[in-house]
Structure 1
Amino acid sequence: MAESSAFSPELNEQLRLQMLKFATLQLRDPHLAEDAVQEAMLGAFRYADSFHGHSAYKTWVFAILKHKIADQIRRRQRLTSVSELHDDTDQQFEDTLFNQAGRWHKEERPMRWSSPDDSLEDERFWQVFEACLEGLPARQGRVFMMREFVGLESPEICAELALTVSNLNVILYRARLRLRECLENRWQRQGDCSC
């Protein structure tokens, strides 16, 4: 195995807590989240010989967890009340960005971002991105992570959350809009400051 230190108790406990946080966000049930994390950690231990170090140990274990979460989501169906589909804070947020005609307010227009290659390599970007993701309304964060991180397809997400495709697209749009705004305010403007 390429990374023998990957199995140290301290690293595994820290990793387990990160995995549990992510699984709980997705599954909304601490018991199911704990089960998914335990299954992923057990799978990582059981198949440790297949880890060749082509990626980081954490990435490898999280990939196993993503599959466990997707399996859990696919197994269960949950009904969502209509009141959960509409969030007044979304409308208020959009009103701060757009005028009555649906155009950007001058001070809220998207600004030019730095090179994606530069941002991808900067660990600080991912810290800011995670903070922005945690700042999303819970439902938007969950749907965004189901789509972009767990990799579920639209029909699977719609079935799990009892959404129509239109509702799903609106939630994803709002999540991406909030993430863009947060990243712009917390990340991009830091680099623009010539103070």
Structure 2
Amino acid sequence: MLSLVKKIVICDDHILFSSGLTELLKKSANEYDIISFKDSESCKSHLQKHDADIFICDLNIDNIDGFVLIYELKKDLNNTKIIILTAYYEDFLIQKAEKAGINAFLKKETEAKELIEVIEMPVNAPFYTNKAVKRFNNLFQEIDVTVAGKFKLSAQEKHIIRLIIAGKSSKEIAGELFISKTTVDTHRRNIHRKLEIGNSASLIKFANENNLFS
């Protein structure tokens, strides 16, 4: 007889939040077997060895981009429902999640009832987000001129920032802009230096906090 207990894996480096989420789910009428991780490497190691019905992931885990973690685990999550649960609730991130084949994109303020409904949806259900109206504006809208000027970003650097946030690799960016990968990597280092950030996860956070997208 097949088990009706859903196996849920949570990856979030905010321990109080993940502990509270675990307790909340355990109190529901549904049967869940829950394991949580506060760092991406432990989570990755577990999911490469064990199946999960549901994977709930934050977007910024120990300074790692949650999208990167999901991409790295994609072959291990073929039959797993993937839910992003994040404080970074922006249109371009929702669009990126949907295009990546992620099942749901939810804000951390989501009510327990709604989260459980999403968990209980079939794995092949349509993409879900709890935004009332998805305003999928053009992902490549202009970066705010004032902010770009403040940090002395060139037109090429602004374009590359958009492509990085859209999930493009250096190789893909090079092909799209008809430049070498080495040139792209140089631009990325210059962007990190000018904005004083270290990786793509920090770039997404910076874009949100500084309203880079108008």
TM norm structure 2: 0.25
Structure number having the greater helix percentage: 1
Structure number having the greater strand percentage: 2
TM norm structure 1: 0.28
Q: Which has the larger radius of gyration?
A: 1
